[in-house]
């Protein structure tokens, strides 16, 4: 039953990120944490994210600009070390509550505010990368700082999605190595990865196809509303 749930959640994670370009871990983690400890759910989400971002980056390879990704990636490296330390030392309840705060803050930001796009200094990219690395390594939900940075910048839709996909692919590789070196990626995590591999590939493919037929703005508002509810459940359960 547990592996069946893992496969279903992997499919949902791929579907969500295939549709929106981000958000697989933000959806998958609250579901996984209902029956798995954070030290298993987090490395599993990271491995699933590698598959998803590799597929999306391949499709957006002509829009990848490493000058945009560079500052974010530079800030992310020290953040990953800090986040991995937190994952090994914090208890599961603290990680759940932290994830709830991230989900509530991120969804409210997108539901209530719409900031005018502007050309941001690369320094803000370094800050966003550091926060993404720390949060991502700790509980596989580090996307919001970088997503906010990319969405505020004066980039078109393809540039934003390509930057996010390329960056999350690079950081996912680093975090996966950090988890392996710290002994967090166990045999059970690898078994779950094998079970979820086909569902996540199919979900990502299907999400990318269905996305073309939907209103992007309306769908994202639905996702943000669901994330807000999940954040409340984690925070006040």
The band of 117, judged by pLDDT with boundaries at 50, 70 and 90, is low
Rg of the chain on CA atoms, in Å: 16
CB 75 within 8 Å of CB 126: yes
Per-residue pLDDT tens over the stretch 130-164: 988 887 777 656 677 887 788 778 777 778 888 88
Per-residue confidence (pLDDT) for residue 195, from 0 to 100: 95
Q: Hey, how many other C-beta atoms are within 10 angstroms of the C-beta on 81?
A: 13
The band of 194, judged by pLDDT with boundaries at 50, 70 and 90, is very high
CB 134 within 8 Å of CB 87: no
Query: Which residues, including other chains, have CB under 8 Å from residue 91's CB and lie 6 or more apart?
Result: none
Q: What percent of the chain has pLDDT over 90?
A: 23
pTM of the full structure: 0.76
Per-residue confidence (pLDDT) for residue 47, from 0 to 100: 93
Q: Hey, how many other C-beta atoms are within 10 angstroms of the C-beta on 185?
A: 22
Angle in degrees, CA 131, 203, 155, rounded to 5: 45
- β-partners of residue 118 are 153
Per-residue confidence (pLDDT) for residue 142, from 0 to 100: 64
Per-residue pLDDT tens over the stretch 19-39: 877 778 878 888 898 899 888
Write out the residue range of the structural domain in which residue 180 sits. 2-236
Q: Hey, how many other C-beta atoms are within 10 angstroms of the C-beta on 176?
A: 18
Per-residue confidence (pLDDT) for residue 143, from 0 to 100: 73
Per-residue pLDDT tens over the stretch 207-232: 888 877 877 677 667 777 877 877 88
Say whether pLDDT at 87 is over 80: no
Alpha helices in the chain (DSSP H): 2-20, 24-32, 38-59, 66-89, 92-112, 122-139, 143-152, 157-181, 187-211, 216-236
Mean pLDDT value across residues 103-118: 77
CB 82 within 8 Å of CB 137: yes
Say whether pLDDT at 11 is over 70: yes
Query: Which residues, including other chains, have CB under 8 Å from residue 39's CB and lie 6 or more apart?
Result: 87, 88, 92, 184
Query: Which residues, including other chains, have CB under 8 Å from residue 47's CB and lie 6 or more apart?
Result: 176, 185, 189, 193
Residue 214 has which token pair? 């939907």
Per-residue confidence (pLDDT) for residue 6, from 0 to 100: 94
- β-partners of residue 32 are none
The residue among 141 and 197 whose pLDDT is bigger is 197
* Average pLDDT in the chain: 83
Q: Total structural domains in the chain?
A: 1
The band of 7, judged by pLDDT with boundaries at 50, 70 and 90, is very high
Mean pLDDT value across residues 190-198: 95
Say whether pLDDT at 204 is over 90: yes
């Amino acid at each position: 039953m547990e592996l069946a749930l893992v496969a279903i959640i992997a499919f949902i994670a791929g579907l969500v990120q295939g549709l929106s370009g981000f958000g697989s871990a933000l959806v998958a983690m609250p579901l996984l944490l209902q029956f798995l400890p954070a030290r298993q759910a987090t490395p599993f989400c990271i491995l699933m994210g590698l598959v998803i971002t590799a597929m999306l980056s391949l499709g957006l390879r002509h829009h990848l600009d490493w000058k945009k990704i560079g500052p974010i990636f530079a800030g992310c490296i020290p953040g990953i070390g800090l986040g991995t330390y937190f994952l090994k030392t914090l208890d599961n309840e603290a990680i759940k509550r932290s994830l709830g705060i991230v989900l509530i803050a991120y969804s409210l930001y997108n539901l209530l505010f719409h900031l005018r796009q502007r050309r941001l200094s690369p320094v803000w990219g370094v800050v966003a990368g550091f926060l993404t690395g720390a949060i991502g390594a700790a509980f596989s939900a580090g996307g919001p700082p970088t997503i906010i940075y990319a969405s505020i910048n004066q980039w078109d839709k393809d540039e934003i999605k390509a930057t996010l996909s390329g960056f999350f692919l690079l950081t996912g590789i680093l975090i996966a190595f950090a988890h392996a070196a710290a002994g967090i990626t166990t045999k059970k995590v690898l078994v779950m990865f094998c079970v979820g591999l086909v569902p996540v590939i199919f979900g990502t493919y299907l999400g990318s196809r269905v996305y073309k037929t939907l209103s992007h703005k309306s769908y994202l508002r639905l996702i943000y509303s669901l994330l807000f509810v999940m954040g409340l459940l984690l925070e006040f359960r």
